[in-house]
Amino acid sequence: MTMVLRFTPLFVALAATMPQAQAADAAEGFVAGSSLDVLARNYYLNRNQRQQGVRDNREWGQGFIGKFESGFTQGTLGFGLDAHAMLGLKLDGGGGTAGSSILPYSSASKDGYAYGKAPDSFSNAGAAVKLKAFDSVLKAGDLFLTNPVIAGGESRMLQQTFRGVSLTNNSIDGLMLEGGQASFTKLYNQSGRQRIGTAYGSLPDDRESRHLNWAGAAWAPVEGLTGSLYAAELKDIWNQYYADIDYTWQLSERVSLNPGLHYYHTQDTGDALLGKIDNNTYSAHFAVNVGYHSVTAVYQRVNGNTPFDYITQGDSVYLDNSQIYSDFNGPNERSWKLKYSYDFAGLGLPGLSTAVSYSRGETDLTKADPNSPGYSRWYSAEGKDARHWERDADLAYVFQQGDFKDLSVRLRWATHRGSQGYSAVDNDVDEYRIIVDYPVSIF
């Protein structure tokens, strides 16, 4: 089956859902509805590479993300403007230790090792105009997007943005419709923009994808139940379809059960720049929450001789076993996870929380195509019984009051090890992160 998303008919279809006979809600006004927020993020990442001859990655930076969002002018058709500016400052990251993806760097070679030097600072700014009519909002320009098929990466010092157009509609209670097209992305450790690429595939001959189209719906019909359906086309690379369902069953005031399922189907399309893709990936989780404790079990499966792939640096991997270091998304991979989390409010320490998890996966990397134009690096002659595991721990505290209210400090640890050929795709590493966020609302 081949899917072709077309931009103009998509907007016509969504616009048709507007209640044309309904009067527009009273707008707050361009100025009265405006807000300006600044996030100061201090980020340290140390990735200790366990392979001989591979330099460690170690970077430390201070980032600032300012976001201005206007209200809408009054009337049936309201106009508005969103704008943002980002600044990243290097605090540490000398030659030979760059490459953790916190800071940009130029790649070179010295004494047989990869060598890169990050600039002392880097910055970016952008804006989007927006129009509101009835229950629909159209935006064009630089966008912050978050959905299962195109989500900007937020896991580093600065955020990823996209240049394109988007439309959202909320005419029906509990149902959100959206769609759009994005042609360029600003990666979280870069100042400039580039065409949207993929996280795991290598495009041949310096060719690029032209744009990504998407459309989808998110549904929350009753309390505790959510679901969504999305479809996307990364031109000349893949069509990707996504579905999920999640339910929280509240057995009592202190006890609840939470089953959920995520599913992706990806297939090549157009010129198939990454080669043949026919991939079905799903993850299922079941969580038991008792008071301030939570235990979650996960099973994840990739069916296909290519990995589950998504856009470069994006957070559009809505799978339960996507961890700090590995996504457990190799060709034909099966993986399991057990996670425990605790909220220390149960001990009279609100704002303090922790989580620990252990994941392991196994796959046969000899089934990957060594001649694939996009995924040949996944082939390993020694990978018949490839296995790997990851152990993660998080400790976070959010100040609840006083001058530092809402300031958060997060410590993250990850240990990853592979065997039987898995090191061909994911290294053995010990990783440490310290993240300090201080959000400030200017108005």
Q: Residue 340: which CATH number?
A: 2.40.160.10
In a domain, 26, yes or no: no
CB 52 within 8 A of CB 113: no
Contact yes or no for 146/214 (Cβ under 8 A)? no
Q: How many domains does the chain have?
A: 1
* Gyration radius of the chain over CA positions: 23
Whether residue 178 is contained in a domain is answered as yes
pLDDT of residue 203: 79
Contacts of 74 (CB under 8 A, 6+ apart): 26, 27, 29
Q: What is the pLDDT of residue 111?
A: 45
Token pair for 26: 């009273």
Spatial contact of 13 and 180, defined as CB atoms under 8 Å apart:
no
Domain-embedded: residue 2: no
- For the chain, 443 residues long, give each residue's pLDDT as a single digit of tens: 434 343 333 333 334 444 433 334 445 799 999 999 999 999 999 998 877 666 778 899 999 999 999 999 998 899 999 999 999 999 987 666 777 789 987 655 444 444 567 888 999 999 999 999 989 999 999 999 999 999 998 899 999 999 999 999 999 999 999 999 999 999 999 999 999 989 988 877 777 788 999 999 999 999 999 999 999 999 999 999 999 999 999 999 999 999 999 999 999 999 999 999 999 999 999 999 999 999 999 999 999 999 999 999 889 999 999 999 999 999 999 999 999 999 999 999 999 999 999 999 999 999 999 999 899 989 988 889 999 999 999 999 999 999 899 999 999 999 999 887 786 677 889 999 999 999 999 99
258 in a domain, yes or no? Answer: yes
Q: Does the residue 191 lie in any domain?
A: yes
Adjacent-strand bridge partners of 49 = 429
In this structure, what DSSP letter does residue 10 have? H
Is residue 346, in this structure, part of any structural domain at all?
A: yes
Domain enclosing residue 375, as ranges: 7-18+36-441
pLDDT value, residue 442: 94
For residue 23, is it within any domain?
Answer: no
Q: Which residues of 346-357 are buried (b: 16+ CB within 10 A; e: fewer)?
A: eeeeebbbebeb
What 3-state class would DSSP assign to 264? strand
The DSSP call for residue 424 is G
- Specify the pLDDT at position 400: 96
What pLDDT is recorded for position 53? 63
Angle at 427 (CA atoms; ends 275, 284), nearest 5 degrees: 70
The amino acid sitting at 380 is: S
Q: Is 161 a domain residue?
A: yes
d(CA 283, CA 442): 41
